[in-house]
Structure 1
Amino acid sequence: MSKEKKTLSRRKFIVRGGLGTLGVLAVGTYILRNPIRRKVLGLANSMDTAYMGSTNDPMLWFEITEQNTVRLHSPKVEMGQGSFTGLAQMAADELDVSMEQIEVVHATTATGNIDGMATGDSTSISGLWQPLREMAATTREMLKIEAAKKLGVDPDQLLTENASVKGNGQSLSYAEVAMGVTEWDIPDTPPLKDFKAYKYIGTPVARVDLSDKVFGEPIFGMDATMPGMLYGAIVRPTTIGASFESADTSKAENMPGVVKIIEEDDFVGIVARSMTEAENAKQAITVNWKTQSELQTEDIVTMMTVGNGKSTIIQKEGQALKGEGVVEMEFRSPIGAHAQIEPNGVLASVDGDKATIMISTQVIGLTRKEVANRLNLDEEKVNVIPTYLGGGFGRRLHTPHAVQAALMSKAVGKPVKYFFSRKEEFQHDMFRPPTHHILKGRLNKDGLLEGLEHHFVSGDVGNRSALVSDIVPSILGADIGAIRGGFLQYTKVPNYRSVYWHVSLPFATSWWRSLGLLANTFAIESFIDAMAVKSGIGPVDFRLRQIADDPLGIRLKETIKSAAKKAGYVDQAVNGRAMGLAASIDSGTPCAQVAEVSIEDGKIKVHKVTCALDPGIAVNPDQVRAQCEGAIIMGISAGLHEQMYVENGSLQPTIYGPYEMALMKHAPKEIDVVLLQGRDRPGPVGEPPLGPIAAAVANAVFRLTGKRLQQLPLKLS
């Protein structure tokens, strides 16, 4: 049966946390000392982000149904990454239920199960690895305690199996145990099972959300409905930095279907009986915008050049490179859009002092807080109901349109559904920032690096985002998102340093899948490949000989060797094809890739990618491989096709097609994934495989053409 009101007894579990923003700031003023600052930045760059929510009550997470199944209320959202399946596997093993007996749903804020770290940073599985299994194991013991009472036996005489409690010749289903229980005894957390005892963890199982997606069930935000709902539209500027001054809404007010025009200090909204009528009325509103100068792409490139802005040394050992023999190369990456299939949208219903928000969001708690603050409601009166996401990739790590829809709903007294148009989605994205990199290196007499430097500039990723406090940039001196992948992993080199430069852009940039990893790895690994060629040492050995023999370095070397061996790496073109190698570490997960490439009709064609990844324990190996495949194709799309421009102060393009993306014909015919297990727990998976691919392709192109491509997207002319 569904859970009822319960009273906690005995003890409460700890509230788990990690070195998030508050943890970093707690270091205090000592962090302003550069060596400590660098140490903290390095730690933040390499660590897994911990779960940041309460684990004081397992019954916030688990619900026993009358059908004798267990319903897991997940604080992480499902946006295609397969996390629901992995979480079900972890819970099922400790709860002693089959995969058919467990269901995963999104936790609404009304359940109280909210993760302060949101859904991102590739940590849905790794962040919940320990707390979820502990709560599942504790729930299992709670059921045994209640079963013992009903059966009149000692709990130690009971065993659990297939959602039932058995012992002394008697048996009760979990549903029968839970029947009528309103107060649960919560014991100390029991020992977790040995890994060898798990039935599901470490094995491929079918996705729990497969059926709904195959049969088109209404599970996404765009599918959300409420009785009597109306439709909204928002008037938005089309140029960078434009601010609202005034609007003439007289014509729109009398158009067919229009219910009300809402004017707030920061937006004008239209509520109508259909989406088409709302959009038509929006076009009839004349808005006076205060605009800035008409920027061009060339202006952005000039801004985004190393030496502009403020610098922070994020990594340093030995001396800076000076004198003769220094090789220097420059690399650039452009503005990138998220371009996810489902545009941002929300369905909001405000009724008196309560609000219900149905939304595709990665930040459930933050969305609730913003709606409550703007409408002057208690947070407990705002229930955010997450839906499945039709793509996230960081685009939904801030969803302030929930506030706009809530205000429109309050104004008309009915639910209001509002979605971005595709043009709005492109022009008002939180873009991947453009970057510029200068790499320097010098070889010693043995052909190895005696010095290596990475200087790079990026717009904001974490800074100025809704998830990072405004005080963090002044304390840390660097953007914790932009520096991802910016650290040099070749720390056997006697002298090395990485220097981050920050420039504020006139348009919004923020989290994009893998953050700075794609651009930083492209620059660093392209340069390392060039230095390997100059040294005459093969690119595999050149890398291996300059990676430290610490635990993470050993794991990185194993991925490089595994990728090269599996691909049969050769260092010259054969029959019109060539291979390129690149490697990176992201959040403690090493990844190496070999791309096999040819040139067809003057364009780059990727035929095969071999990927070696060390995520630690792969809870669902098939899903980890799928994440690698998806990240590689997304990296190929960004590395060979995608680019936003600035024309006359406006971000362009505003539609698929002109915004080039990889199509089916551009995908490799083969992606071969090798999984290693260099540690005994899961690590982040979703973003690390994005790191090496652009550099691997560029390095292969060099072996085909002799030309070193130094700008994304990669073009031969």
Structure 2
Amino acid sequence: METLDNTSRRSFMKLAATAGGGLFLGFNWTNSSALPVVVSTKQVAAGSVNFNSYLSIGTDNFITIISPNPEIGQGIKTAFPMVVAEELDADWKLVKTVQGNLDPGAFERQVTGGSGAVPHSWDRLRKAGATARYLLVEAAANRWKVPASECTTSDGKVYHKASGKSLSYGELAEEASKLTAPKEVKLKDEKDYKLIGHSVRNVDNHNIATGKPLFGLDFYREGMLFSIIQRPKAFGMKLKSVDSAAAKAMPGIVDVVTFDNSVAVVGKSTWQVKKAREALKIEYEKEADLESTSDHNRIFQDLLDNGKATVRRKNGDVEAAFKNAAKIVKAEYQCPFLPHSPLEPMNFFAHVREDGVELIGPTQTPDRARGEVAKLTGFPQEKVTVEITRQGGGFGRRLAADYVMEAAKVSKLVKAPVKVIWTREDDMTGGTYRPAVRYRFEAALDKDGQMIGYKLRGVGMNAGNTTREDNFPSGSVDNLLIDSVDHKSPITTGPWRAPITNFLAYAEQSFLDEVAEAAGKDPIQFRLELLEKAKKAPAGDVKYDVDRMIAVIKLAAEKSNWGKKKGVSQGFSVYFSHRSYVAQVGEVIVEKGKPALKNVIVAVDCGIVINKSGSLQQVRGGVVDGLGHAMYGNLTFKNGVPDQSNFNGFRLIRMNEIPEVDVHFVNNGISPTGLGEPALPPTGGAVANAFYKATKQRLRNQPFMEDAAFKSIS
């Protein structure tokens, strides 16, 4: 597949129109029921058509689609055109994609986050492709003077079997553009898919492998300046004074400016500004408590015991259930702060001019970037443009716009185009971490081993609600109390891949295994019994699909040959997040007296799988991400300063530590649901439960390698 990059929508349309015309199809991204509309090439060239996105079929047989959502490695730039091409019966080799820039008037939800892009656009994309196919068939039938019902399509051509005639889409594009789009179009049945469900290479693979400029760090414009910023090294400190004389005197340095609590060095190259930053003489003063990890441990314990909690969900008479219980199970689980550590550190280009602002770079939320910069500069939002580059990871970090604002502030102060670049140390110590959390669980069992009561309290550091109160096992326990307490810390936090569930799933699923053991039941059977209760006699609202969860559990049990492998200790976990259901079985083998994780079997219900290879990569990547951070990831603090500032101190999973990951998808034919995040949350629990089965040591603290129980077995 050929890919077009860094091309504006208007420029692309004018270019395509003047290159020979064809069929242009505008379709509405904001309304799944809105029908595509035929747009003449003259209209497109004139720029007078106000549709939200465009599918074009040129007389050269190439099909081009603008993809509006930011590409962050989740494969959306490949998946979107695959859906259109499937309904269009296109020849995939003749499909091009263009990254759309921010255009709130044309697109809705130009966001990468929450695993929601494909669910949001599925019907819109299908209707666009199907409508184009309808028009092309009508054009061919008119030319051949045969009923359209006698015509078929395949690989970018229309066929009339009875006469043996065929025409390419390019040959029919002009005629099709003069026809009226129908109000209703027939969409393909899943059984007829030729492209969806198969493996397709990412459209950017060639450009990535050959080093083409795709990412924000690649962006360069003649005459732009570079900036590296010094922020307070401790959370809770603020800028008091700065002596920049030595830095300003260094080669290539244009200016040193201050804003908020930051000092920006601006110059002609990244190396020059990096070296000049080291010459700054800065004094800070305290404005809040300088917290250490030891402080957090004390705060956690105090808030679990005495914190004023916000009740998130309560069903039944919890106090009576625990008072009358035959057995009570209690446990606490803790997860640390984590940096995002994307391969591409934060960076952004900004040019604040007298007539508006130009922004270029990697952002998961381009509209947020535009809105915040508009407030900063005083320009109306339509005077702020955002060009979206491909992103070298983000995992939620690029949902924030702080680094975009920095670029705009520096550009405004020095009155020049500026690209702000964070070093790896800036990135790891600059905040917006996954919040640290501690959970306390309690379960009440009756004499028959039925769970009749359940309590969960979550305490987080700037985490807000650390629970997902309507997720399983809610709805399956008659007496339930879920509440949370939040500590306001000067350490900044934000969404991290699969927010909240990335650590909650591990804690919940590990604790459910503890309860199952206390009840004398198999862990999978214990969960299935709870789900049957939620199905037949629900306790309050059930806001997850019980049947989908049961199906994914049974598939994981089947594929892992649960409980039947000799010499293999298996641990189970299942979780619902981002509209999808994932069950996992971790398998541990004891070698020379030491437990070793060898395999993770994964069952996934994400609805229809669009790109099989991309989907497999998302699931396997999520498992490796979840495993690596559960095993090794830890960010600690001393007097407000992170102890880890680069990968020499922050432990990541290594290649030889990655187990086999065996993935199976549920084929239920429902519309696609999320996939970028749901495979990560269950991993920690499956692995912890497998290690327990092998060693009888519960791993209640992440990272596992620093848990006393893990040290005793490794």
Give the TM-score normalised by structure 2: 0.84
1:92 offset after TM fit, Å?
Answer: 0.3
Q: Kindly provide the CA deviation profile for residues 666-706 of structure 1, in whole angstroms up to 9, marking residues without a partner as x.
A: 110x1111111345111111211112211111112222222
* 1:246-645 paired onto structure 2 within 5 Å: 246-265=241-260, 267-291=262-286, 292-304=288-300, 305-307=303-305, 309-320=307-318, 321-323=321-323, 325-412=327-414, 414-461=416-463, 479=465, 482-484=466-468, 487-489=471-473, 491-548=475-532, 550=535, 552-570=545-563, 575=567, 577-598=568-589, 605-645=596-636
Q: Kindly provide the CA deviation profile for residues 365-404 of structure 1, in whole angstroms up to 9, marking residues without a partner as x.
A: 1112222332233323332111111111101101332232
Distance 2:639 2:666 in 1: 49
Q: Kindly provide the CA deviation profile for residues 31-62 of structure 1, in whole angstroms up to 9, marking residues without a partner as x.
A: xxxxxxxxxxxxxxxxxxxxxxxxx9666232
Change (3 A) 1:352 1:157: farther
Asked whether the 8 Å contact 2:27–2:124 carries over to 1, the reply is no
Asked whether the 8 Å contact 2:622–2:679 carries over to 1, the reply is yes
Distance 2:669 2:314 in 1: 27
Residue in structure 2 matched with residue 703 of structure 1 by the alignment: 693
Distance 2:260 2:621 in 1: 41
AA matched with 1:399: A
Asked whether the 8 Å contact 1:580–1:701 carries over to 2, the reply is yes
Asked whether the 8 Å contact 1:2–1:63 carries over to 2, the reply is no
Asked whether the 8 Å contact 1:3–1:59 carries over to 2, the reply is no
Distance 2:142 2:354 in 1: 45
Distance 1:111 1:163 in 2: 32
Change (3 A) 1:283 1:83: same
More deviation, 211-220/388-397: 211-220
**DSSP 3-state at the match of 2:304:** coil
1:414 offset after TM fit, Å?
Answer: 4.5
AA matched with 2:663: V
1:518 offset after TM fit, Å?
Answer: 2.4
Residue in structure 1 matched with residue 38 of structure 2 by the alignment: none
Asked whether the 8 Å contact 1:433–1:458 carries over to 2, the reply is yes
Change (3 A) 1:200 1:317: same
Distance 2:119 2:338 in 1: 28
Residue in structure 2 matched with residue 15 of structure 1 by the alignment: 30
**DSSP 3-state at the match of 2:119:** coil
Residue in structure 1 matched with residue 193 of structure 2 by the alignment: 198
1:593 offset after TM fit, Å?
Answer: 0.8
- Are 1:94 and 2:87 an aligned pair? yes
Distance 2:527 2:139 in 1: 58
More deviation, 506-515/447-456: 447-456
Distance 2:141 2:564 in 1: 67
Q: Kindly provide the CA deviation profile for residues 60-82 of structure 1, in whole angstroms up to 9, marking residues without a partner as x.
A: 23244564322222122222222
Change (3 A) 1:601 1:654: farther
* 1:57-68 paired onto structure 2 within 5 Å: 60-65=53-58, 67-68=60-61
1:242 offset after TM fit, Å?
Answer: 2.2
1:419 offset after TM fit, Å?
Answer: 1.2
Change (3 A) 1:161 1:516: same
Give the TM-score normalised by structure 1: 0.83
Residue in structure 1 matched with residue 41 of structure 2 by the alignment: none
Asked whether the 8 Å contact 2:232–2:284 carries over to 1, the reply is yes
1:436 offset after TM fit, Å?
Answer: 1.1
Distance 2:136 2:694 in 1: 64
AA matched with 1:650: V
1:332 offset after TM fit, Å?
Answer: 0.8
**DSSP 3-state at the match of 1:446:** coil
Asked whether the 8 Å contact 2:635–2:643 carries over to 1, the reply is yes
Structure 2 residue corresponding to 1:137, chosen from 106, 109, 130: 130
Residue in structure 1 matched with residue 44 of structure 2 by the alignment: none
Distance 1:66 1:415 in 2: 40
Distance 1:145 1:58 in 2: 23
Structure 2 residue corresponding to 1:216, chosen from 211, 214, 217: 211
Residue in structure 2 matched with residue 120 of structure 1 by the alignment: 113
1:711 offset after TM fit, Å?
Answer: 0.9
More deviation, 691-700/262-271: 262-271
Change (3 A) 1:600 1:237: farther
Change (3 A) 1:678 1:148: closer
AA matched with 1:86: A
* 1:28-43 paired onto structure 2 within 5 Å: none
AA matched with 2:557: A
1:496 offset after TM fit, Å?
Answer: 2.5
Q: Kindly provide the CA deviation profile for residues 477-503 of structure 1, in whole angstroms up to 9, marking residues without a partner as x.
A: xx4xx4348733263333223223233
AA matched with 1:612: A
More deviation, 78-87/432-441: 78-87
Distance 2:606 2:431 in 1: 31
Asked whether the 8 Å contact 1:593–1:612 carries over to 2, the reply is yes
Asked whether the 8 Å contact 1:326–1:440 carries over to 2, the reply is yes
Asked whether the 8 Å contact 1:295–1:647 carries over to 2, the reply is yes
Distance 1:171 1:237 in 2: 66
More deviation, 491-500/292-301: 491-500
Asked whether the 8 Å contact 1:487–1:498 carries over to 2, the reply is no
Gaps of 5+ in 1: 19-55, 464-478
Distance 2:87 2:50 in 1: 16
Distance 1:12 1:114 in 2: 10
Asked whether the 8 Å contact 2:61–2:170 carries over to 1, the reply is yes
Distance 1:79 1:11 in 2: 25
AA matched with 2:452: E
1:180 offset after TM fit, Å?
Answer: 13
1:131 offset after TM fit, Å?
Answer: 1.8
AA matched with 1:379: Q
Asked whether the 8 Å contact 1:611–1:672 carries over to 2, the reply is yes
More deviation, 440-449/346-355: 346-355
Residue in structure 1 matched with residue 96 of structure 2 by the alignment: 103
1:297 offset after TM fit, Å?
Answer: 0.5
Structure 1 residue corresponding to 2:680, chosen from 654, 665, 690: 690
1:190 offset after TM fit, Å?
Answer: 2.2
Residue in structure 1 matched with residue 37 of structure 2 by the alignment: none
More deviation, 72-81/103-112: 103-112
Asked whether the 8 Å contact 2:26–2:55 carries over to 1, the reply is no
Asked whether the 8 Å contact 1:88–1:99 carries over to 2, the reply is no
1:509 offset after TM fit, Å?
Answer: 0.9
